[in-house]
A and B are shown apart, each in its own frame.
Chain A
Amino acid sequence: MPVQVSAGAYYVFVAAVFFLFWASAGSRHARLAVVLLANYLFAARYGLFYVVLLPLCSSIDFLAGLGLMRFRAPAARRLLVGVSLVLNLGLLVGSRHMGWVLGRAGGGSAHWDWVFPLGLSFYTLQALTYTIDLYRGDAEGTRSLLEYLASVTFFPTLLAGPITRVADLVGQLAKPPALDRSAGGRAFFLIGLGLLKKAFLANFLAENLVNRVFDTPTLYSGAETLIAVYAYSLELYFDFSGYTDIARGVGMLLGIRLPINFDRPYIAANLTDFWRRWHLSFSNWLRDYLYFSLPGARTRLMPYVNLAITMVLGGLWHGVTWTFFAWGLLHGTGLAATRAWMVKRGRKRKPANPWARAAAVFGTYQFVCLTWVFFRASNMENAWAILGRIGSLSVGFENISPTLLAALGIGAATFAVRKQWYAWAEERFARSPFWVHTAALLVVTLAIRLLGGRANVPFVYSRF
């Protein structure tokens, strides 16, 4: 069994890495070696073959990077970045879909499966940032294999991001690290908050409504099914943003700043705004490395088509299924329509009146929830069944308990928390003495163990 990020063993592992890292902080090679060892140990818990596969693929990317730093001839540079693209996209497709190919080759009766317990989707996107940045001249590379290997497989981001530019990680890991009391407190704040989000909101909503309704929609009324879709929107947000908080907190304990991934996405006033708030590291990657690479940026029509293509490919990155295709297509079409609307009406500098903004937020949220139906459904039949139940307009709330309503209310209320309030709380906590941090983490740990259920439910995005 892999070490789940929400399980106690993961934090024992993080504590061990923390002490080894800071004990060796004076030596660049020693601390990089500790990070690299931690990365590969973390990956090996998912499968021993990762300790061969990851160094092999990373080393090829590193060599491509060395070549890109050395050669100026366009043909050579295209060849090198092409090798990296083929390698990483091959790894992405191979790790996810080779099983299907093997099954077909065996006439559908093969007795072997192709299983990658640790999805490499995030690794491949992260690895590509390095070679593409070097190809474009947007970043400086490293000549140290150790620096590169430690950065590209940095364990807090390996499972589900946030997708970080490798050149940025290399720069941070190369510098002498620093961690004052305030930064340490901030790291604990993020880890504690992430665990609470996961254990008390995401898991609760998943186990008590969402999974049940999506499993057997015919057992629930239309009203309950609609509430389950809203609950899923909150579950996914708290699950993924909880994971990101933990990853950022763990990175911070090692002196590494990882990018933010979420900014209260469900108060977005349109779909473009939503993608500036939801899974930022992924949407930035899609924009910088895919959308900008597509031809026709200066034509009238192609930017709209490219938006749709980008989002469809973004959908298929989650898995080659019709549901993810539909999810991507809906978002791509929605983004294109939003862009067309913005172009037509022109950019308004004045803020809209509060009612118009509330209506826009409401409409955007409804559309996003519609797309989540396809994102969560096990197949298209399941998605249609969910939408069919909602369309039945049947009313019944037998399966909506007061506790569940409270969880939904708390989840929704967090979107009303102003950024300044959040920053104030984080700052106050960060500046507190160590024993306050200890006490707070102890309360969080015990609350989760005693009240939140002890099952280690994997994070949703850890399967991608």
Chain B
Amino acid sequence: MRKFPISTALTIVSLGALLMLLRVWMPAAIDTPKALLGAIVDFSPESTPASPLVERHEAVPPERLATVAASAMHAPLLDDRNGVLDRFYASLWRTEKGAGTTRILHYGDSPTTADLITGDTRHLLQERYGDAGHGLVLIAKPWAWYGHRGVELSGSGWQISPASSFKALDGAFGLGGVSFIGQAGAHSKLVLRDPDQSNFELWYMAEPDGGVVTAEADGRQVAHIATDGAAGPAFAAFAVPGGAHQLDLAVESGRVRLFCLTAEKAGPGVVYDSAGLNGASIAVLSRMFNETYWAEELRHRNPDMVVINYGTNEADFASFVDKGFEKELREAIRRLHAALPLASILIMSPMDRGAREGADGIVTMPTIPRIVALERRVAAETGCGFFDTFDAMGGEGTMARWYTAEPRLVSADLIHPYPAGGKIIATILVKEIDRGLNRYKLRSALTEPRP
């Protein structure tokens, strides 16, 4: 004991004693002695395997995971009571029978802008009901991660203003929520993986001194569009018989203000427009869009169903969730109902969103379940359908499970799903739509007058 390092020992003992004392005031910050000792001497088989040979727990394939998650839930994932989605179901049934195109317009935030869930939903619906084209594609990438599955997009020379940057301007952001202003020389290139798209429409802002934009399909000019006219949204449709592999848009002269391009096939089938903005919140629809312009664009597009899919970014602001979110959501719905009185509206809840807490802990952000409950209630009160993405994924704590799943299903930010995660949600959504359509068919058969 002669050489015992007294000073060093005193440091260790006094540090331990002080931490135990501080535990009285800060119990959450300092582990209990029992927990600390337990972590050292826990030799249970689960904690310390006796052999390196361990039984494999097979990862649940996404398709099965979707079924498991969906079947485990009690409340309906897709609430379409009182016929709130009947306009959509009627159109989808017609499409299934080979007549006409069903259009869905999906507004959302960053997962939507990356076409993560919408891309799979589009693919699954088109596989089941027919492919009527890509639908809405922006003029250029407002941010690096904007994407539309099956389309390679590039552009330069554009002054880009997304509605999610919360600079109101004149509120003219087009159907997709982004305004692209360009002078002569600005251009965009769309490479289409499926070259059968033959019906295109350019969405732009007509202005008294608007310039001219040209469109070329595989190097052949197919449209020469003068954008001058009375101020307001305008649309220039052009056909490319036989389709195109590549479409080039270029400003020929003057200053033009473009919004988006729609690409469609003859049909019948489904068109699923993905209109996601990075960092967007419900305020994009309730405040940022000029109501008159937006209504005109909505009526022109005439979707059978509009999906409102916000809440992830709002989850950061608990006070807004409790005091302001409902008002904004109701305003967005009012605007949509006013513009499209016959269209179905589906409120799609946000996904689970994780936050890091405690040792190794990932928990659901407390605002997420509140947003989901609020959206479900508002949907029921305003004649909208409701899809519970949060429950469909597995509810509380899903992000922790998805983050630790092998392979992982969500990115380290605990917000953005990996492609496999996005596919799970899309699979459940489409399955619920199929079930809803079947319910609609049954109801229709029962209510049709007998001969």
- Residues of A with Cβ closer than 8 Å to B? 1, 3, 7-9, 12-13, 15-16, 18-19, 22-23, 25-26, 41, 44-49, 95, 98, 110-117, 176-181, 184-185, 187-188, 206-207, 211-212, 215-216, 218-222, 224, 253, 389, 392, 394, 396, 398, 433-435, 437-438, 441-442, 445-446, 449-450, 453-456
> Does B447 have its Cβ within 8 Å of any Cβ on chain A?
no
Name which of B99-107, B119-127, B143-151, B199-207 contacts chain A: B143-151
Q: Which 8 A-B pairs have the closest CB atoms?
A: A184-B8, A211-B412, A9-B39, A221-B144, A181-B7, A219-B145, A179-B5, A437-B11
Residues of A within 8 A of B412 (CB): 206-207, 211-212, 215
Q: Check B11–A3 contact: CB distance below 8 A.
A: no
Fill in one digit per residue for B1-43: 1 if any A CB lies within 8 Å of its CB, else 0. Answer: 1111101111110111011001000100111010111011011
Q: What's the nearest-Cβ distance from chain A to residue B21, in Å?
A: 10
> Does B274 have its Cβ within 8 Å of any Cβ on chain A?
no
Residues of B within 8 A of A394 (CB): 141, 144
Q: Check B5–A22 contact: CB distance below 8 A.
A: yes
A47 to B53 Cα, complex, angstroms: 11
A3 to B41 Cα, complex, angstroms: 10
Closest residue of A by beta carbon distance from B165: A398
Q: Check B3–A112 contact: CB distance below 8 A.
A: no
Residues of B within 8 A of A445 (CB): 15, 19
Residues of B within 8 A of A116 (CB): 52
A434 to B356 Cα, complex, angstroms: 35
Residues of A within 8 A of B7 (CB): 180-181, 184-185, 433-434
> Does B75 have its Cβ within 8 Å of any Cβ on chain A?
no
Q: Check B4–A22 contact: CB distance below 8 A.
A: yes
Q: Check B3–A22 contact: CB distance below 8 A.
A: yes
A351 to B287 Cα, complex, angstroms: 64
Q: Check A216/B416 contact, CB under 8 A, given A12-B36, A446-B29.
A: yes
Fill in one digit per residue for B276-303: 1 if any A CB lies within 8 Å of its CB, else 0. Answer: 0011000000000000000000000000
* Selected contact of A455 from candidates B29, B37, B360, CB within 8 Å: B360
* Selected contact of B143 from candidates A16, A44, A221, CB within 8 Å: A221
Residues of A within 8 A of B143 (CB): 221, 396, 398
A328 to B287 Cα, complex, angstroms: 55
Closest residue of B by beta carbon distance from A18: B12
Q: What's the nearest-Cβ distance from chain B to residue A391, in Å?
A: 12
Q: Check A178/B3 contact, CB under 8 A, given A221-B144, A434-B14, A438-B14.
A: yes
Q: Check B1–A456 contact: CB distance below 8 A.
A: no
Q: Check A454–B358 contact: CB distance below 8 A.
A: yes
Q: Check B48–A215 contact: CB distance below 8 A.
A: no
Residues of B within 8 A of A117 (CB): 49
Q: Check A23/B1 contact, CB under 8 A, given A7-B359, A12-B37, A13-B40.
A: yes
Q: Check B9–A456 contact: CB distance below 8 A.
A: no
Q: Check A47–B50 contact: CB distance below 8 A.
A: yes
A453 to B356 Cα, complex, angstroms: 8
Q: Check B16–A15 contact: CB distance below 8 A.
A: yes
Residues of A within 8 A of B114 (CB): 218-219
Closest residue of B by beta carbon distance from A47: B49
> Does B381 have its Cβ within 8 Å of any Cβ on chain A?
no
Q: Check A18/B9 contact, CB under 8 A, given A112-B53, A115-B49, A455-B361.
A: yes
Q: Check B30–A449 contact: CB distance below 8 A.
A: yes
A441 to B22 Cα, complex, angstroms: 14
Residues of B within 8 A of A216 (CB): 145, 411, 416, 418
Residues of A within 8 A of B52 (CB): 47, 49, 95, 98, 114-116
Most buried by B among A1, A8, A48, A434: A434
Residues of A within 8 A of B3 (CB): 22, 25-26, 176-179
> Does B170 have its Cβ within 8 Å of any Cβ on chain A?
no
Q: Check A434–B144 contact: CB distance below 8 A.
A: no
Q: Check A25/B12 contact, CB under 8 A, given A49-B50, A115-B54, A449-B29.
A: no
Q: Check A9/B144 contact, CB under 8 A, given A111-B55, A114-B53, A216-B416.
A: no
Residues of A within 8 A of B141 (CB): 394
> Does B408 have its Cβ within 8 Å of any Cβ on chain A?
yes
Closest residue of B by beta carbon distance from A14: B12
Q: Check A434–B11 contact: CB distance below 8 A.
A: yes
Q: Chain B contact residues: over half helix, strand or loop, or mixed?
A: loop
> Does B47 have its Cβ within 8 Å of any Cβ on chain A?
yes
Q: Check B43–A44 contact: CB distance below 8 A.
A: yes
Closest residue of A by beta carbon distance from B413: A212
> Does B323 have its Cβ within 8 Å of any Cβ on chain A?
no
Q: Check A215/B411 contact, CB under 8 A, given A184-B11, A454-B359, A456-B359.
A: yes
Between-chain CB contacts (< 8 Å), 25 pairs: A7-B39, A8-B30, A12-B33, A12-B40, A13-B40, A22-B5, A22-B9, A45-B47, A47-B49, A49-B50, A95-B52, A111-B55, A176-B3, A185-B8, A187-B8, A215-B411, A216-B416, A216-B418, A398-B143, A398-B279, A434-B10, A435-B11, A445-B19, A449-B30, A450-B29
Residues of B within 8 A of A185 (CB): 7-8
User: Which residues of B88-116 are within 8 A (CB) of A?
Assistant: 110, 114
Q: Check B39–A215 contact: CB distance below 8 A.
A: no
Closest residue of B by beta carbon distance from A389: B144
Q: Check B416–A112 contact: CB distance below 8 A.
A: no
A206 to B411 Cα, complex, angstroms: 12
A442 to B29 Cα, complex, angstroms: 12
Q: What's the nearest-Cβ distance from chain B to residue A257, in Å?
A: 15
Residues of A within 8 A of B11 (CB): 184, 188, 434-435, 437-438, 441
Residues of B within 8 A of A206 (CB): 412
Q: Check A215–B43 contact: CB distance below 8 A.
A: no
Residues of B within 8 A of A1 (CB): 39, 42, 47
* Selected contact of A110 from candidates B16, B56, B356, CB within 8 Å: B56
* Selected contact of A219 from candidates B50, B56, B110, B357, CB within 8 Å: B110
Residues of A within 8 A of B36 (CB): 8-9, 12
User: Which residues of B231-285 are within 8 A (CB) of A?
Assistant: 278-279
A252 to B62 Cα, complex, angstroms: 50
> Does B82 have its Cβ within 8 Å of any Cβ on chain A?
no
Closest residue of A by beta carbon distance from B410: A215
Known contacts A218-B147, A455-B361, then 17 further A-B pairs from the complex at CB < 8 Å, ordered by chain A residue: A3-B40, A8-B31, A22-B3, A22-B9, A48-B49, A48-B50, A115-B49, A181-B8, A212-B411, A216-B411, A434-B7, A434-B14, A437-B11, A445-B15, A450-B29, A454-B359, A456-B359
* Selected contact of B15 from candidates A44, A184, A224, A438, CB within 8 Å: A438
Q: Check A442–B359 contact: CB distance below 8 A.
A: no
Residues of B within 8 A of A111 (CB): 55-56
Residues of A within 8 A of B18 (CB): 438, 442
Closest residue of A by beta carbon distance from B47: A1
Q: What's the nearest-Cβ distance from chain A to residue B158, in Å?
A: 13
Residues of B within 8 A of A178 (CB): 3
A140 to B114 Cα, complex, angstroms: 63
Residues of A within 8 A of B22 (CB): 446
A181 to B8 Cα, complex, angstroms: 6
Most buried by A among B5, B37, B49, B413: B5
Most buried by A among B10, B47, B141, B413: B413
Residues of B within 8 A of A25 (CB): 3-4
A184 to B7 Cα, complex, angstroms: 8
* Selected contact of A9 from candidates B14, B40, B54, CB within 8 Å: B40
Residues of B within 8 A of A253 (CB): 8
